Amino acid sequence: MAYGFRPMWHLPIRASNWDSAAAPLGGLPSYHTVRVEAPAESSPRWICYTSQSTTYVLRERAAPRQRRVRSHLQLLSSFARFMRSTTGATEPMAEVSIRKIVKEYEGNVQAVKGIDLEVADHEFLVLVGPSGCGKTTLLRMIAGLEEITSGEILIGGEIVNDVPPRDRDIAMVFQNYALYPHMNVFDNMAFGLKLRHVPRTEIKQRVDHAAQMLDITSLLDRKPRALSGGQRQRVAMGRAIVRSPKVFLFDEPLSNLDAKLRVQMRTEIKKVHQAVHTTTVYVTHDQVEAMTLADRVVVMNQGIIEQVGPPQELYHAPATQFVAGFIGSPAMNLLPCRVLNGTDGLRLALTNDIVLALPPSRTERYAPYVDRPMLLGIRPEHLTQYDAESESRSGVVRVNAPVDVVEPMGMETMVHFFVDSVAVCARVDPTTPAEPGQSLPLAADLNQMHLIDPDSGRVV
Ligand code: ATP
């Protein structure tokens, strides 16, 4: 229970609203200010804290004044988290559980089709997917801004389906920042805390701390109209940080920024999460943003989850054709193919002329798919310039590419060509002499390939 911060919190409690579960309360006057030295854990229903060497466990009574008591508790809980974020001590759990969540709009539109998802405490989870896949709807249901058709959402172990947004202890950062134009930066950041009656000195302390973290201290007196897009975005993040909520929700927060600023702010968001560790759910349609920010990425498509996993896992071991094609830039090449039985092992026929020997390590896995129309998935970086060394590598085969377009990128060169009518991209060394119209020998590393069953859409 040692959090290692100074006694500095005063919690006003009305004794009539409490039951003491494990400590002296009887001696308290009817309205009392408790000096909390080390808040341990709290929830809207109960609180455990240490005051002057005595541990108290209080249970909230179902009293008419519940809301008032709850807001005190929320304040305490937020403050404790804020302190812990600055002292690095352990925080109470703030995981989000999404259970069989369905969202149906009028006209039988099923935007979210029975999603199950666990967001761990401290985790940075990114929801990514194409436009209309349901990611914003899911985020808004977590925030309480969208009604749930069926299923349950839990924050910190408590079902919040019927809890209004302001009582969910979440902070949301929107794409359009939603700053108050008539307030300066300080007041914009402080506004939510003022509404919650946080003492003025504490508001200043929190705003200053967040402003320092985001490098906007010199902008605190400015109005939003005198800020650049990136600065406004920082203020919007600062407003969320000062709240010290259980959960941050980000809805495409960088999409209004230009490409350079987006990359810069991406790093800032990552830094902030490394500093405050708040559980975060982040929505984007940009798979690079998803890969760079996330502890785990959730790929959504048409209201369902295609795959959940750490970025590297999604990249190297996609479970479905959709994930294989969505994650990675340039995208994975997907080519119709057929697995054939050869005298010396399995072969992969792309056309009548292009038949490649499959690595023996894949024989058992691909044997059930012999003679069925399948898809070969191979990333551009696994189609590289062919050289003497390539020949000696097991599982690496030669393919002659009729070069269509060459794109020098500096560090690498993209070579585009067609197999039948399917466009293929290879990533070669910039020193490779590649010219449109020529045949370029490429090394295809089939140890890195994926075989997809087009009927099920699954990688086999
Ligand atoms: P985007 O990246 O374009 O914001 P998204 O993945 O966030 O897309 P949602 O905004 O969650 O997608 O929408 C999911 C689906 O629900 C879409 O088909 C959309 O048209 C539909 N939808 C969203 N809001 C409503 C509404 N109020 N009424 C009816 N259908 C809606």
Task: Give the closest residue (by CA) to ligand 1 atom 3.
Answer: 131
Q: Which of 108, 137, 146 to mutate to test the pocket of ligand 1 (most atoms within 8 A of CB)?
A: 137
Distance, in Å, from the CA atom of 401 to the CA atom of 346, rounded to the nearest integer, reads 23
Return the CA Rg of the chain: 28
Distance, in Å, from the CA atom of 239 to the CA atom of 163, rounded to the nearest integer, reads 22
307 CB-near residues (< 8 Å, 6+ apart): 298, 299, 314, 318, 319, 320, 323
Task: Give the closest residue (by CA) to ligand 1 atom 14.
Answer: 134
Q: How far is the CA of 379 from the centre of ligand 1 (A)?
A: 31
Q: Which residues of the chain have pLDDT under 70?
A: 1-93
Residues framing ligand 1 (Cβ under 6 A): 105, 109, 111, 129, 131-137, 285
Q: Looking at residue 29, what is its pLDDT?
A: 35
Q: Looking at residue 77, what is its pLDDT?
A: 52
DSSP state of 332: P
363 CB-near residues (< 8 Å, 6+ apart): 345, 346
State both tokens at 193: 């805390």
Distance, in Å, from the CA atom of 389 to the CA atom of 398, rounded to the nearest integer, reads 12
Q: How far is the CA of 316 from the centre of ligand 1 (A)?
A: 30
Q: How far is the CA of 126 from the centre of ligand 1 (A)?
A: 17
Q: What is the pTM of this model?
A: 0.77
Distance, in Å, from the CA atom of 161 to the CA atom of 140, rounded to the nearest integer, reads 12
Distance, in Å, from the CA atom of 143 to the CA atom of 400, rounded to the nearest integer, reads 53
Distance, in Å, from the CA atom of 192 to the CA atom of 188, rounded to the nearest integer, reads 8
Q: Looking at residue 43, what is its pLDDT?
A: 43
Task: Give the closest residue (by CA) to ligand 1 atom 27.
Answer: 105
Tokens 């006694």 map to which residue? 7
Q: How far is the CA of 91 from the centre of ligand 1 (A)?
A: 35
Distance, in Å, from the CA atom of 348 to the CA atom of 397, rounded to the nearest integer, reads 11
Please provide the DSSP assignment of 348-394 as one string: EESSSS-EEEPPGGGHHHHGGGBTSEEEEEE-GGGEEE--HHHHHST
Distance, in Å, from the CA atom of 36 to the CA atom of 325, rounded to the nearest integer, reads 54
Q: Which of 102, 105, 108 to mutate to test the pocket of ligand 1 (most atoms within 8 A of CB)?
A: 105
DSSP state of 409: -
Q: Looking at residue 418, what is its pLDDT?
A: 96
By DSSP bridging, strand 109-119 and strand 150-155 are unpaired
Q: How far is the CA of 109 from the centre of ligand 1 (A)?
A: 9
Q: Which of 101, 102, 104, 109 to mutate to test the pocket of ligand 1 (most atoms within 8 A of CB)?
A: 109
Q: How far is the CA of 268 from the centre of ligand 1 (A)?
A: 28
Task: Give the closest residue (by CA) to ligand 1 atom 12.
Answer: 132
Q: Which of 135, 176, 304 to mutate to test the pocket of ligand 1 (most atoms within 8 A of CB)?
A: 135
Q: Looking at residue 34, what is its pLDDT?
A: 46
Q: Looking at residue 93, what is its pLDDT?
A: 63
The answer to whether 116 touches 99, Cβ cutoff 8 Å, is yes
Q: Looking at residue 315, what is its pLDDT?
A: 96
Q: How far is the CA of 304 from the centre of ligand 1 (A)?
A: 13
Amino acid occupying residue 269: I
Task: Give the closest residue (by CA) to ligand 1 atom 5.
Answer: 132
For residue 139, the ligand 1 atom closest to its alpha carbon is: 11
Q: How far is the CA of 381 from the centre of ligand 1 (A)?
A: 35
Task: Give the closest residue (by CA) to ligand 1 atom 11.
Answer: 134
Q: How far is the CA of 16 from the centre of ligand 1 (A)?
A: 47
Q: How far is the CA of 105 from the centre of ligand 1 (A)?
A: 9
Q: How far is the CA of 287 from the centre of ligand 1 (A)?
A: 19
